[in-house]
Structure 1
């Protein structure tokens, strides 16, 4: 019963809110500089998943309403629960009327929901979602009938997409005088686009869906071009950088996948998937820095454009501030940034440390959202968290 109520809240909460999704990315790199020239290797990967269709029609169970109520009575007796004089805490009497559940059975469900809330498994919002989903349940549906409203026939699907990029940048920088410098970077790029759809009613086929995602990939080559200009004054620096000005594109694909069970038999009907081309949007970033000494600086960066991600409704446009203090071989950094393209996101605090060993530099850092947390299975987690590491060498 606990599992059913948790699942009801989580699934309906995900499906009823199109903004519910996950998005992760990771970067790594290494670079070398030889006078005015530089070369490096960088890797970037991102993955996203979201419910693209929520079937609220097929939520049927084979059990009859009478048998379900009997099961609730047996569970209540086992828990030592009595509805006599019971006061509702999580829902209101009659909230489950649409499902046919009422009276002592409804009171027992309120009791179980309250337990889950007190134990941290369900929030108030997920309880509301669980109530809505329980009211969608249809009793006495035959799971072996393809035309029934049994949950086994539910058509809700989760789309999962991924993109991986390996690039080798070649850079050149030139100082025209003590104030003005210019730089250009040409990048050889190898990108891999992947994706699948998961019909989550077929729980046994979930691993099969992930295997399909590994197989359903399209790889292609392209190149990118970055330009930058820096102007120096006494204690002040101003710069502008244009990234990927040619908008490099990597091919997507269309395919049809057939999920199978452990015996290799087909599960459900084939699923058509379409993974669109992935385009790395151009970005122009303005920057300014106050450098009162060689060991201390304050900087600001502002993205002029919104750039897309794998999520159709999630773009990135950052405004960031930071400061660095150098003490002997160590560089201490603090800062913050905000995604202006997502008004629901709070500011993200950043921190890091660098180690300068003559020709080599090691950098590590992290970021953590400082506003409201998200909730996953009753546990609060930050809306955004990041780790960063890099190694560079100069000759």
Structure 2
């Protein structure tokens, strides 16, 4: 039962919705350094991170070909925690459903878990709760100060929608009174029953005796339960002590604000056959063909400016899947791909990079400062006819700082200047990234780099720190690197602890 509930909730959470884009971490070297690369901007992927870095001609910035591939997933707003908590109570929910079917009784603990589940179902629709799947990759060429690249950035947003109104099992209620001759209050339980009655009344939400009517609809429960007070007294007969009944009252009271609308909605709504919970599959895939150039400026020593001129193909896809009415998810994916819409739009990037030592040679640690603005003109793309309208790729700005304490050691810090929308409704992104790189051998013909970093979304309080690691082998002109990022936050899925965010990246390069 738990596995079925967990699978259903995860599927429900995967309602695909494409909105704006957060900053993508392209390349293994930046990934290993926590996503900080704007003020380093070396090699072919400098065109993406800061085209001003293309102007630098030295052994530190190589020409050649680099092919990066990155894939990641992030679960936001504690969505898996909600799903896991509901799954953990699957046995209690099974007992409630079984009682409805057989006319048996439920315990006070099961009644409390029923209310808590109603609250958790409501919370699944909160803004910022969902997940993102992101893919990035391509081919990047650099020769001297000129770069050409073809990169794809695909984002799939996962937004849950659960219909909390049409939840009626259609069975006719739970019979609590098969062994009762009345609903009298057991000796010593007066205060506990009063507390439980008050807690049950908090679920009314304008509908008197909502929870008792929901559980004992149609005059069932032996025909004895006609009010919340009756239900509280009946439950007292199944409590092990007055303290347990009071604890149940406290749990119900704790979740009453969010559970009440669900309880009253379920009371007045239809059954599962009318449930409109759905998966809206909506994805965006953007392929950039970019031409970049960087040049040093004469008015300030060490300052270089660069830019990209791009043509972007945006392919938008959308489909809605009523999963309560249709179990074949394959049709939804098939329809999404068949109904996709492709369009082209131009875009422009701008970057600036200042090597401070060129102006102030005595400045220690070789500091650099960089700024990049992507998609300055905020290009728009057509969406499928079934959805209508356009999709705007919002402008992004990112600031970077770097230090080089030694020839083999780099430090970098990046910060998103813009607060970027993401593919999860109500979840914003503003990344703070810090990383370091130590080159063990640091020879042109052979090197083993070690990289580590931290990244944090400072736009969302619920987002936790993520840790990154990376390494590779540089042999003559061939470079092979890998990197990964994992969140410090963990959630539970089917009794297993998993990170809320995980990303892997690999790249191959022929660099000279």
Normalising by structure 1, report the TM-score: 0.72
Q: 1:56 aligns with which of 139, 151, 164?
A: 164
Residues 5-24 of structure 1 correspond to what in structure 2 (within 5 A)? 6=90, 9=117, 12=121, 15-24=124-133
Q: 2:383 aligns with which of 231, 235, 252?
A: 252
Note the alpha carbon deviations across 1:47-77, whole angstroms, 9 max, x for none. 112234x433322233233xx659xx9xxxx
Counterparts of 1:278 and 1:360, CA distance in 2: 39
* 1:242 and 2:363 aligned: no
Match of residue 346 from structure 2: 223
Contact 2:213 2:267 in 1 (8 A): no
Q: 1:183 aligns with which of 283, 306, 311?
A: 306
Contact 2:169 2:272 in 1 (8 A): yes
How far did residue 98 of structure 1 move?
4.7
| Secondary structure at 2:341 match in 1 | strand
Match of residue 82 from structure 1: none
Counterparts of 1:360 and 1:315, CA distance in 2: 38
Match of residue 86 from structure 1: none
How far did residue 392 of structure 1 move?
3.5
Contact 2:491 2:498 in 1 (8 A): yes
Match of residue 325 from structure 1: 438
Counterparts of 1:385 and 1:345, CA distance in 2: 13
How far did residue 368 of structure 1 move?
1.2
Note the alpha carbon deviations across 1:141-198, whole angstroms, 9 max, x for none. xxxxxxx812101223332321111222222222347722222222221111111222
* 1:301 and 2:452 aligned: no
Match of residue 275 from structure 2: 154
Higher relative contact order (CA 8 A, sep 6+): 2
Residues 361-372 of structure 1 correspond to what in structure 2 (within 5 A)? 361-370=479-488, 372=489
Which runs of 5 or more residues in structure 2 are unaligned? 6-88, 94-113, 179-195, 201-210, 217-230, 240-253, 358-365, 442-446
Match of residue 394 from structure 2: 281
Counterparts of 1:387 and 1:293, CA distance in 2: 28
Q: Which moved more, 1:354-363 or 1:38-47?
A: 354-363
Judging by fraction of residues, say which structure has more helix. Answer: 2
Q: 1:204 aligns with which of 305, 308, 327?
A: 327
Q: 1:384 to 1:323 in 2, by over 3 A?
A: same
Please identify the structure whose Cα radius of gyration is greater: 2
Counterparts of 1:132 and 1:379, CA distance in 2: 32
Contact 2:486 2:501 in 1 (8 A): yes
Q: 1:311 aligns with which of 379, 404, 424?
A: 424
Q: 1:388 to 1:299 in 2, by over 3 A?
A: same
| Secondary structure at 1:156 match in 2 | coil
How far did residue 276 of structure 1 move?
5.0
Note the alpha carbon deviations across 1:299-356, whole angstroms, 9 max, x for none. 1111111122223312221111111111121111111111122222112111111333
Contact 2:127 2:426 in 1 (8 A): no
Runs of 4+ in 1 over 4 A off after TM superposition: 1-5, 7-11, 92-96, 128-139
Normalising by structure 2, report the TM-score: 0.57
* 1:32 and 2:141 aligned: yes
Q: 1:380 aligns with which of 458, 476, 497?
A: 497
Judging by fraction of residues, say which structure has more strand. Answer: 1
| Secondary structure at 2:160 match in 1 | strand
How far did residue 136 of structure 1 move?
6.3
